[in-house]
Chains A and B, each alone.
Chain A
Amino acid sequence: MSDLILRGVAGLLAGPLLGGLTSGLDRILTARLQARQGPPLQQPYYDVVKLLAKELVVVNAWQAFCVYSHLFATVLAVVLFALQADLLLILFTEAVGAVFLVMGAMASTSPYSQIGAHRELLQILVYEPLLFLVAIGIYLETGSFRLTAVFQWPVPLITQLPLLFGVLCLVLVIKLRKSPFDLSAATHAHQELVRGLFTDFSGPLLGLIEIAHWYETVLMLAFCGLFWAGGLLPMTTLALAAVMGVILMDNATARLNWRWLLGYGWLAGMTLSLINLIWHFRGAG
């Protein structure tokens, strides 16, 4: 019992600690890749504290409700992961959180916000099926959706499901809001349309969304780590490698439009997963 509580608390802390640091690291690395010095590592924390202390401006009550629900569902998903619950349950919780953010953006009448919400929906449409395919692959390999079983699996999953790991990295690019798939809201502050989703969120609400984004980052990186679940070190190594790849990709590519997102995302994602799954089935059968 005390073990469970400890894990829950670890999950709660992982968001602000690991997520914030990843975000800070990302900003420094991006700056260095652009021949700049970049902000200090703790910059994301400054941003969030400042945002939380700003004046609260809400367009309507639904907006605030949706942000709170978004944060709650995302935190819950990370805590469930730390408790080693069911993989499908975690994915559903995460999806609910993502949809609440879209609803929050739709609650405002600003056209930028509306377009941002639609683009975010398209992104969800692209990555959710891929995430489930990854979960199915893990199930076929380990015979269980429960994370306890996955963690006890003797061989690293990445040796069995390398293509599915590639698919997960694709999802990671979309979830971390990175180029070429940062249609609805780019991480680095930009102008109107590519910040569309956040147009009408301000101050404390934007701060809460940022905190939720840290939790999302941690959840996705934990998923990546799952592919080499032989302890904390291999998990972190794999997750860090994935983050580096995503940051490189972010700086090397331009933003695609939504047709390309659907085309590339689905075509590459589905093909890779299916090849891996079929190959895996044949191997098993």
Chain B
Amino acid sequence: MSIEQRPRRCGGWLERLIQHARVRSPWLLHFDCGSCNGCDIEVLACLTPLYDVERFGIVNVGNPLHADLLLVTGTVNRRNARVLANLYRQMAAPKKVVAIGACGLSGGIFREADNVIGGIDRIIPVDCYVPGCPPRPEAIIDGVMRVLERFGTGHPKEDVAKGKGIP
């Protein structure tokens, strides 16, 4: 049983500590959902010594079970919608999603293609949209920091927005 699942009677300090820890230690999972790779290169640039996101405790993990944030670049199409939903479902609550780039927001220049469903919010709930084609690393870091403010102290289950059209 995790700390959060116990009834809330430990006073405010424990919850404040947990929220502080969540904000200071986001582990992110990056999923290329059919992007042209422009956005992916910018996401990876955030991890280089120049931007060094480990300053904020951000670590890039390859396992949805360990991740707190899901960074998605690119459009959703009929093939990868299932994969995206699966990754989202495998993450342990509380979890947040950041959509990156014009493609991730709305489908971008691929919007009209007939295999493209659109932005990733058509499949999973998105907490922060980072516009740009591709967005600069600073913008991506800003988006991640903003989404961190939305980590509540509540029950992990309550922190999960309802999935929309999860296939």
- A residues near B, CB below 8 A? 27, 31, 34-40, 43, 45-47, 49-50, 52-57, 188-192, 195, 198-204, 206
Any A CB within 8 A of the CB of B167: no
A199 partner residues in chain B, CB cutoff 8 A: 63, 65
**Contact B18–A191 (Cβ < 8 Å):** no
A190 to B29, CA, bound (A): 11
A40 to B25, CA, bound (A): 11
**Contact B92–A47 (Cβ < 8 Å):** no
Majority SS at the chain A contact face = loop
Please list 29 pairs of residues, one from A and one from B, whose beta carbons are closer than 8 Å in the complex, sorted by A's number. A31-B54, A38-B55, A39-B54, A40-B24, A43-B25, A45-B21, A46-B57, A50-B18, A50-B21, A50-B22, A50-B25, A52-B2, A53-B156, A54-B94, A55-B2, A55-B93, A56-B1, A57-B92, A189-B66, A191-B61, A192-B62, A195-B62, A195-B63, A198-B63, A198-B66, A200-B65, A202-B65, A202-B66, A203-B2
How far, in Å, is A134 (CB) from chain B's closest CB?
Answer: 34
Residue of B nearest to A34 (CB): B49
**Contact B49–A53 (Cβ < 8 Å):** no
**Contact A39–B94 (Cβ < 8 Å):** no
**Contact A56–B5 (Cβ < 8 Å):** yes
Pick from B20, B54, B62: contact of A46, CB under 8 Å: B20
B92 partner residues in chain A, CB cutoff 8 A: 54-57, 202-203
104-146 of chain B: CB within 8 A of chain A: none
How far, in Å, is B47 (CB) from chain A's closest CB?
Answer: 10
A188 to B94, CA, bound (A): 22
Any A CB within 8 A of the CB of B40: no
Any A CB within 8 A of the CB of B149: no
How far, in Å, is A149 (CB) from chain B's closest CB?
Answer: 43
How far, in Å, is A225 (CB) from chain B's closest CB?
Answer: 30
Any A CB within 8 A of the CB of B17: yes
How far, in Å, is A112 (CB) from chain B's closest CB?
Answer: 8
A199 to B22, CA, bound (A): 21
37-80 of chain B: CB within 8 A of chain A: 49, 52, 54-57, 59-63, 65-66, 68
**Contact A195–B61 (Cβ < 8 Å):** yes
How far, in Å, is A68 (CB) from chain B's closest CB?
Answer: 12
2-27 of chain B: CB within 8 A of chain A: 2-5, 17-18, 20-22, 24-25, 27
**Contact B2–A39 (Cβ < 8 Å):** no
How far, in Å, is B51 (CB) from chain A's closest CB?
Answer: 9
Any A CB within 8 A of the CB of B157: yes
**Contact B49–A35 (Cβ < 8 Å):** yes
**Contact B55–A46 (Cβ < 8 Å):** no
**Contact A53–B18 (Cβ < 8 Å):** yes
Contacts A50-B21, A53-B22 known; 4 new A-B pairs at CB < 8 A? A54-B92, A54-B94, A189-B59, A202-B65
> In the complex where A31-B54, A52-B2 touch, is A206 in contact with B66 (Cβ < 8 A)?
yes
A46 partner residues in chain B, CB cutoff 8 A: 20-21, 24-25, 57
How far, in Å, is B79 (CB) from chain A's closest CB?
Answer: 22
A47 partner residues in chain B, CB cutoff 8 A: 21, 25, 57
A191 to B28, CA, bound (A): 12
How far, in Å, is B45 (CB) from chain A's closest CB?
Answer: 13
